[in-house]
Amino acid sequence: MHLDPAQLAALAAILRSGSFERAAHDLGVTQSAVSQRLKALETRVGALLVHRGQPCTGTATGRRLAAHADRIGLLEADLARDVAALAPAPRTRLRIAVNADSLATWFPDALAGMPQHLFELVIDDQDVSHDWLRRGEAVGAVTASDQPVAGCNVVPLGALRYIPTASPEFMARHFPQGVTADAIARAPMLQFNVKDRLQHNWIERVFGRAISPPSHLIASPEGFVRAARLGLGWGLNPETLVTQEIAAGQLVSLLPGAHFDTPLYWQSGRLLAEALAPLTRSIRKAARGALRPRG
């Protein structure tokens, strides 16, 4: 299927900016032109691409086509670097799926080494972030899966270490006889969202069986740490986020030595491997400085 680049650019601009008016400003055309291009593209593919609202959001098909437009931009920028006769390419926007804990710790260092790009980061659990690649809605993903998505390369990055932590007061209140299976089943647990199985996986590893404690849903790594410090619940926090709190006695480990290492991988489209090579190198460099070697 041949798709008009100007129509794809209009779609991507709408989803990036959230409105037809801002998309028109970004593209240097009239709002009417943006509307006409989107309508023509929706007619061409036979599907609704944008949910009109404040802000405008993409349908599943719209998000996939916008990601396709971003991939085209990346390839064109790579070509411009290789062919000196071409004019300098504008900054390209890359959509990447990444887990919140990586974003809160080491991943921004990788992006800081790539000033020639603009980034759109979508936050998802590391166990499912590769689904963005499978749907064709991202050019790369930081994921816990070492099984390559069709058409993708997999690069091992290392392991993000988590420490099961709670406040001393929480420990005294909920685990007066120690951290046992019965006590862990009753003590309030912190969970990032319903997809987050990290705490459950740790419980199963330590106690040898599945247990589902009552849980708070807190979709923020920093909020996770603060909630644990205030005694709201216990949870697994990235080691680098709780080092100071542990040293100050504000947090303690539920079971000293019972850390949990989550291996992480960088998956990206094989056809984009050459164009994404600088980003891949930057991600690997940042990971080497922050993640644990894979055991």
pLDDT at position 54 over 60: yes
**Residue whose C-alpha is closest to residue 113's, from 292, 271, 289, 264:** 289
3-state DSSP call for residue 252?
Answer: strand
> What's the CA dihedral at 245, 251, 254, 258 to 10 degrees?
0
Contacts of 46 (CB under 8 A, 6+ apart): none
Q: What is the pLDDT of residues 152-187, one digit of tens each?
A: 999 999 999 999 999 999 999 999 999 999 999 999
pLDDT of 92-151, one tens digit each? Answer: 778 899 999 999 999 999 999 888 788 989 999 998 899 998 888 888 999 999 999 988
Query: For position 87, what pLDDT does the model report?
Result: 40
Query: In 190-223, which positions are buried (b, 16+ CB within 10 angstroms) versus exposed (e)?
Result: bbbeeebebbbbbbeebeeeebebebeebeebee
188-237, pLDDT tens digit by residue?
999 999 989 999 999 999 999 999 999 999 999 999 999 999 999 999 99
pLDDT at 13: 87
Global confidence as pTM: 0.74
Joined tokens for residue 50: 């944008």
Q: What percent of the chain has pLDDT over 70?
A: 94
Over residues 239-292, the pLDDT tens digits come to 999 999 999 999 999 998 999 999 999 999 888 888 889 899 999 999 999 999
